[in-house]
Amino acid sequence: MKYKFNKEGDYIIYLIFNNDLTNMSYMFYNCSSLKELNLLSFNTNQVTNMSYMFYNCSSLKELNLSSFNTNQVTNMSFMFYNCSSFEQLNLLSFDTNQVTDMSYMFYNCSSLKELNLSSFNTNQITDMRMMFYNCSLLKELNLSSFNTNQVINMTEIFNNCLSLIELNISSFNTDNVTSMSYMFSECISLKEIYLSSFNTKQVSDMSYMFNKCSSLEKLNLSSFNTKQVNDMSYMFNECTSLEKLNLSSFNTKEVTDMSYMFNKCSSLKELNLSSFNTAQVTSMSYMFNECISLKELNLSLFNTKQVTNVSKMFDSINKKCKIKCKDKQILQEIKKSKGCIIV
């Protein structure tokens, strides 16, 4: 149905649907000027798809969905994408038992200050990528009720959650997850992340995982299984508050990119890379750039036969750092740094 509004002004639009409606995807797509929406009369009993439903409703400040019956819905991806004026959103009435896709669900809900998802059943979810991307005002997020047994993709799930101070993901089961890239990237207010329950045996991408987590003081990754990981670039980039990092349990035999891995970790004093296998690595550029507090570095097992880029690998590193290394290409790069002590 199309209608042309010839005069500027406010209009009331009545939407009448049959009770057997099953698809509400894209229903209010790009209604970027919409400020109010009353959906209390909606019958959603048969609806299976709500993806993109309120996509880019960027002027909408509140939304009452308490009457929604969502027990048949399987897709909620992009549902509130760029609803950037929401300050709170009550979804306690939502039944998500059948939902398989929540990717981009709250993407760029940048004004959202409260979000209670304690009623969510996530047993069937396979995709959570960018689910909370740029929810930049959220301070707390309790996902302890989440069952993530079926989830495959967690890429950028919390990326740019700038104000997040508390994050409870203790219930997360990551047995089937293959990508964790940008997972906590730019969570600049998080001081601790408890990941002891994480099983990372299927993960192939950890690039930018903790990128710019500048308040992070402690990080225990001893449970991480990294045997499938091929990309660790920017993994700890600009983690400026980390003082210790023990990666002795890391299996890096499949990793091809370690560029910017510890770039600008300016407070890092201890770094254990004793288990690192670099036989497949092609880039190590800026790997330890501006690690100005690093006291010693054991790179005796490093092999750069496949490496084509070691530029700025030790640029602006602590000049008193004692580096143990046998690899010729790395030794040449160390000498360029003018000051590191080779032992």
What residue type is assigned to position 335 of the chain?
Answer: K
- With a cut of 70, say whether residue 196 has pLDDT above it: yes
Does an H or E element contain 332, and which?
A: helix 328-336
Grade residue 18 by pLDDT with cuts at 50, 70 and 90.
Answer: low
Sign of the four-CA dihedral 104, 105, 108, 114: negative
The pLDDT tens digits for 229-275 are: 999 999 999 999 999 999 999 999 999 999 999 999 999 999 999 89
The pLDDT tens digits for 205-231 are: 999 999 999 999 999 999 999 999 999
Whether residue 193 is contained in a domain is answered as: no
Q: Which of 110, 143, 177 is the last residue of a domain?
A: 177
- CB burial readout 308-342, b (16+ within 10 A) else e: eebebbbbebbeebebebebebbeebbeebeebee
Q: Which of 116, 144, 177 is the last residue of a domain?
A: 177
CA distance 51 to 102: 9
Whether residue 197 is contained in a domain is answered as: no
pLDDT given at position 17: 57
Sign of the four-CA dihedral 47, 52, 57, 63: positive
Cβ(49)–Cβ(23) under 8 Å?
yes
Do 169 and 287 belong together in one domain?
A: no
Do 163 and 228 belong together in one domain?
A: no
Do 15 and 148 belong together in one domain?
A: yes
Whether residue 286 is contained in a domain is answered as: yes
The pLDDT tens digits for 41-75 are: 889 999 999 999 999 999 999 999 999 999 999 99
Do 247 and 110 belong together in one domain?
A: no
pLDDT given at position 7: 60
Whether residue 110 is contained in a domain is answered as: yes
Do 148 and 13 belong together in one domain?
A: yes
- With a cut of 80, say whether residue 13 has pLDDT above it: no
Burial of 165 (0-12, 13-18, 19+ CB in 10 A): middle
Do 122 and 233 belong together in one domain?
A: no
Domain coverage including residue 128: 1-177
pLDDT mean over 193-216: 96
Grade residue 14 by pLDDT with cuts at 50, 70 and 90.
Answer: low
Whether residue 272 is contained in a domain is answered as: yes
CA distance 9 to 272: 65
Q: Which of 177, 203, 235 is the last residue of a domain?
A: 177
Do 92 and 237 belong together in one domain?
A: no
CATH number at 19 reads 3.80.10
Do 136 and 263 belong together in one domain?
A: no
Whether residue 209 is contained in a domain is answered as: no
Count of the separate structural domains present in the chain: 2
Do 24 and 104 belong together in one domain?
A: yes
Whether residue 153 is contained in a domain is answered as: yes
Do 256 and 115 belong together in one domain?
A: no
- With a cut of 70, say whether residue 6 has pLDDT above it: no
Do 147 and 273 belong together in one domain?
A: no
277 in helix, strand or coil? coil
Residue with tokens 């032992």: 343
Structure tokens at 314: 């030790």
pLDDT given at position 170: 87
The pLDDT tens digits for 93-106 are: 999 999 999 999 99
Grade residue 342 by pLDDT with cuts at 50, 70 and 90.
Answer: confident
The pLDDT tens digits for 290-300 are: 999 999 999 99
The counts of H helices and E strands in the chain are 1, 9
What residue type is assigned to position 279 of the chain?
Answer: A
- With a cut of 50, say whether residue 3 has pLDDT above it: no
Question: Minimal CA–CA distance to 258: which of 230, 290, 227, 233?
Answer: 233
pLDDT given at position 317: 94
The pLDDT tens digits for 142-173 are: 998 899 999 999 999 999 999 999 899 988 99
Do 228 and 338 belong together in one domain?
A: yes
Count the residues in the chain. Answer: 343
The pLDDT tens digits for 106-150 are: 999 999 999 999 999 999 999 999 999 999 999 999 998 899 999
Whether residue 232 is contained in a domain is answered as: yes
Q: What is the mean pLDDT of the chain?
A: 93
